Amino acid sequence: MKILLTGSSGRIGRAIFGALAATHEVIGLDRSPFATTRIIADVTNTKALERAVRGVDAVIHTAALHAPHVGLVPDTVFQQINVEATAQLLRLARDAGVGRFVLTSTTALYGHAVVAGGCRWIDEDTEPLPRTIYHRTKLQAEALAEAAASDAFAVRVLRMGRCFPEPPERMAMFRLHRGLDARDVASAHAALLHNGGAPFQRYIACAPTPFRREDCLELATQPRRVLARRAPQLLAEFERRGWPLPLSIDRVYDGSRAVAVLGWQPRYGPDDVLQQYAAGSIEVLPRTQWLKDRVVE
């Protein structure tokens, strides 16, 4: 396939490029130069997008503003990049005869669906309740994508779990219930390039969880008890290292639909986090450099 990949210089864009470039022609578009980017242009540049979509079989649209930009970038710019640029790219791709469009979205848009003091089991049927401009604009972009889908223009939305560098104890624990490795994000996008079925489909991508729906009440109040049942080896590793356990787990993202329908197989769980940490991978931050009061969602 010939694939246009927006946001190709970003961390997730680079991972997707790496997963696809050996078997597809991937045309990267980003405003920042990088080895994975062929077209240096802003995603709001109409003329650049018009040229980029010509002769393309599929578009993977990862370019967006994200949670760290909230409060630093005006809401109007969020609207311009996350919503208006997505609408433009959908229109241009459809008009150019592109057959498939994959939109990268986020599980963060569930927002207020997660209630303090409780634990929510979240799947594709859970109603999003956005909190920030980031959440709202990604949800608007999803709605535009759904409206654009047709028998001739297949549209897929991927709501990816938490996926950015963190200290090992945070990242390993999150892999049990809400996190995802960038390589698994990339393979999930690859799976969405080929599947059949309804013109519009939406999936959550998250590492497999050992938890069950019936664990939610206890996860909110006594997560150690659940960890002892469902993930005893990881619990033992945390205790051996003297790493703190969470006092409460407030959500579990269920990515089983993507596994069942797409045949997607996420590979990198908490054990891989510990291996990356031991190897000094830049994907896992040193514990001493973590700002404990930093909040990103």
266: buried, middle or exposed (CB in 10 Å: 19+, 13-18, 0-12)?
Answer: buried
**In-domain check, residue 29:** yes
Residue 246: domain span: 2-279
User: What residues of the chain score a pLDDT lower than 70?
Assistant: 288-297
**pLDDT value of position 115:** 85
* Residues sharing a CB contact under 8 Å with residue 42, sequence separation 6 or more, in sequence order: 31, 48
Question: Is 243 inside a domain boundary?
Answer: yes
Number of domains in the chain: 1
Mean pLDDT of the chain: 95
User: Percentage of the chain surpassing pLDDT 90?
Assistant: 92
CA distance 114 to 102: 26
293 within domain boundaries: no
pLDDT at 288: 64
At a CB cut-off of 8 Å and minimum separation 6, what does 294 contact? none
Residue 296 domain-assigned (yes or no): no
Note the Cα 199 to chain centre separation in Å. 21
In a domain, 204, yes or no: yes
Residue pair 155/145 in contact by the 8 Å Cβ criterion? yes
Residues 6+ away with beta carbon under 8 Å from 18: 36, 186
Cα 100 to Cα 57: distance, rounded to the nearest angstrom: 7
Looking at the domain assignment, is residue 287 inside a domain?
A: no
CATH number at residue 122: 3.40.50.720
- The per-residue pLDDT for 187 is 98
- How far is the C-alpha of 167 from the C-alpha of 288, rounded, in Å? 9
- What is the structure's pLDDT at 206? 97
Whole-structure pTM value: 0.94
* Sheet containing 154-160: order of strands: 39-40, 25-30, 2-6, 58-61, 100-106, 154-160, 200-205
